[in-house]
Amino acid sequence: MTELEVIQGDITALAVDVIVNAANSTLLGGGGVDGAIHRAAGPELLAECQNIAERHGGCPAGEAVITGAYKLPCKRVIHTVGPIWRGGGAREPELLGSCYRKSLILAQKEGLESIAFPNISTGVYGYPKTLAVKTAVQTVKAALPAIPGIKRILFVCFDQENYALYTAELTI
Ligand code: ADP
């Protein structure tokens, strides 16, 4: 059984096995949750991300890569790149779903049992929160049979609006 939980707070404070970063495709850091994760982890995280970026040319939307967590209380960080909202006709739901699915599959492959997600793409990338929550929860639920090693999945909401949306979506 995998537990799904919703909490409100700062993802960088969580001592789960892995937290997910809503990165950008350069992997070189940014604002929002990405900036908070890099600040809390320290400069070694950026160095590891730079190394991946040099070898692989960054990370396209919908994909995920894993690094160490350095000064963070979690064990690892998965960096996934959400789609920028362009009105809904540019494969945004497919790419957002892919972020959640690929992050879960990567976590399972690495033997990680607890994972915390931020509300990917709902900040600077402008994805409507009411739509993003449905894709996030539906994708995670659909992936559960493929990830038996993952015991806890946390949706970490920073703002009250997302917290209310996730709470409602998960109690349906
Ligand atoms: P994106 O570019 O994917 O939209 P953002 O970082 O701008 O990424 O926003 C993604 C979500 O992360 C937003 O809902 C934002 O409120 C939230 N967020 C920002 N800082 C944190 C944090 N420290 N912990 C958890 N969530 C955060």
pLDDT in tens, the chain (172 residues): 899 999 999 999 999 999 999 999 999 999 999 999 999 999 999 999 999 999 999 999 999 999 999 999 999 999 999 999 999 999 999 999 999 999 999 999 999 999 999 999 999 999 999 999 999 999 999 999 999 999 999 999 999 999 999 999 999 6
Mark whether 34 is an active-site residue: yes
Distance, in Å, from the CA atom of 71 to the CA atom of 40, rounded to the nearest integer, reads 6
Residue 154 contacts residue 5 (beta carbons within 8 Å)? yes
Q: Which is the closest atom of ligand 1 to the Cα of 36?
A: 23
Query: Annotated catalytic residue: which of 10, 17, 34, 159?
Result: 34
Distance, in Å, from the CA atom of 52 to the CA atom of 35, rounded to the nearest integer, reads 18
> Which residue puts its alpha carbon closest to atom 9 of ligand 1?
123
pLDDT of res. 1:
87
Pocket test for ligand 1, best of 63, 92, 156, 158 (most atoms within 8 A of CB): 158
CA of 158 to the centre of ligand 1 (A): 7
SS3 for 106? helix
> Which residue puts its alpha carbon closest to atom 26 of ligand 1?
158
Residues with CB under 6 A from ligand 1: 10-12, 22, 32-34, 36, 82, 118-125, 156, 158-159, 162
Burial class (CB in 10 A: 0-12, 13-18, 19+), 111: exposed
The helix (run of H) or strand (run of E) holding residue 32 is helix 32-41
CA of 163 to the centre of ligand 1 (A): 13
- Decide: pTM greater than 0.95: yes
